[in-house]
Structures are given as C-alpha cells and as structure tokens.
C-alpha cells in the first residue's frame, strides 16, 4: 500500500487528490506545521533528509518532490491521466508538470516571504524600514511577476477548460496548488482571469477532490 506523508496546507494535498482520481488504495500519515504554521515538524526528517512534504513510500521506493511524485504515480498507475507519449500533447503535459514548481511557485514564495517580513515582530525602529523594503520589493518585482504568470496561465487554458488538449490530466492536478495559492494571496480572483477562477471551481467540485479533503484534513486553499 502507498503511504503518503502529508503535511497540512501543503503541496501534498494534490497527491491525495491524484490518488483519489486513480482509485488507488493508500494510507495517510499526517503531520502538522510547527513554529506558527510555517515550518514542517522535525519528524518528517525521519522520512526524508530534507524534512519536506509530500513524500510517498511505495514498496521499497521512497520518493519526494510533488512533481516527481505526480509523474511517477501517473505513469505507473494512471495512464488515463496522461496524453499519448508520442503526441504533441505529451510535450505540453511535461512542460506544465515542470512549470508548476519551476516557474509559477517562485513569485508566490517570494510574496509569502516578504509578507512575513512586513508583519514579523521586530524592534520598533526597524519596523518602518522592513515594511518599506517589503512593500518596494512587492510592488516593483513580485506582484508584476505574479500578474505576468497569472495572465499567461489564463491565456493558456484551452477551450476544454484544461491545460493539455481536451482532457483532464495529471498536469491539471500539478497546477492546482500554485493557482490555489494565487487565489489565496496573489490577486487571482480580481475579475480579470475568469478562466482560472472557473478552473478552480471545477476542480474543487470533483468528487475525488472532495474525498482527498476528507483524507487530508483542513486545507485553507480549497
């Protein structure tokens, strides 16, 4: 049986969703964030040296990194969520699988860091300086990058409403987390990106997505 080492409010939620879509039996080992809800607990380092989530264990295989996990599970257990490997759609599928973490998550992580800089406890004389630096970085670089990526994603959704061809694929699952994070803290839902907003509504309504929420526990991005 596959074991998913699952951290609350994290990328591992989409791994649970993928497993539910595939109908594979699995077990969830839950972990809760420590230190004000930001860091994974040290217990995860017993599973993987980096102490991150998600991590899956499938027999003798222990695998980290959500993109690698999604790719592995789809290739081994879910050919119905993959385009034909000799098709142009498979190239597009591979692109989105890597883009989700390699490009889309970078400005979102920067926004998270600089937002915390602006609100973290510090000596009163340093607070205006920290807030000013954070505001400048957000306005001049981070938010323009977020807008660039969100507009690009909006333009790339096909007529089918999915990112690869006419069908729902594992790439849509991989892209869910950056889009959910953007809806939560980056201005996705501002009336300018109706396709992305509709995409999130449709994936959240999928029965497998709802079952994954039951397995993973509270998830603020849903």
Give the tens place of pLDDT for each residue, 70-103.
Answer: 999 999 999 999 999 999 999 999 999 999 999 9
Q: Which residues pair with 26 in a beta bridge?
A: 2
Measured in residues, the chain has a length of: 222
Rounded CA gap, 33 and 154, in Å? 32
Rounded CA gap, 74 and 170, in Å? 7
Q: Which residue has the tokens 């692109």?
A: 95
Query: Domains, the chain, ranges and CATH?
Result: 2-82+212-216 (3.40.30.10), 88-206 (1.20.1050.10)
- pTM score: 0.92
pLDDT value for 135: 76
Task: Please state, in angstroms and as integers, the Cα–Cα distance from residue 151 to each residue in 40, 187, 203, following that order.
Answer: 31, 11, 19
The answer to whether 144 touches 111, Cβ cutoff 8 Å, is no
Rounded CA gap, 186 and 203, in Å? 19
């Amino acid at each position: 049986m596959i074991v998913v080492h699952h951290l609350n409010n994290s990328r591992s939620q989409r791994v649970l969703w993928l497993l539910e879509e595939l109908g594979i039996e699995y077990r969830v080992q839950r972990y809760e964030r420590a230190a004000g809800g930001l860091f994974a607990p040290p217990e995860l380092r017993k599973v993987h040296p980096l102490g991150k989530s998600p991590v899956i264990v499938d027999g003798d295989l222990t695998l980290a990194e959500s993109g690698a996990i999604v790719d592995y599970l789809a290739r081994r257990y879910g050919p119905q969520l993959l385009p034909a490997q000799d098709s142009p759609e498979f190239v597009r599928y591979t692109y989105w699988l890597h883009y989700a973490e390699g490009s889309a998550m970078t400005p979102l992580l920067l926004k998270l860091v600089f937002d915390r800089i602006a609100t973290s406890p510090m000596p009163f004389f340093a607070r205006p300086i920290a807030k000013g630096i954070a505001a400048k970085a957000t306005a001049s670089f981070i938010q323009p990058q977020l807008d660039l990526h969100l507009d690009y994603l909006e333009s790339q959704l096909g007529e089918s409403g999915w990112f690869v061809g006419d069908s729902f694929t594992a790439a849509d699952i991989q892209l869910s987390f950056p889009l959910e994070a953007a809806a939560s803290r980056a201005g996705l839902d501002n009336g300018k990106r109706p396709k992305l907003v509709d995409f999130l509504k449709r994936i959240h309504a999928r029965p497998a997505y709802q079952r994954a929420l039951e397995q993973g526990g509270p998830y603020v991005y849903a």
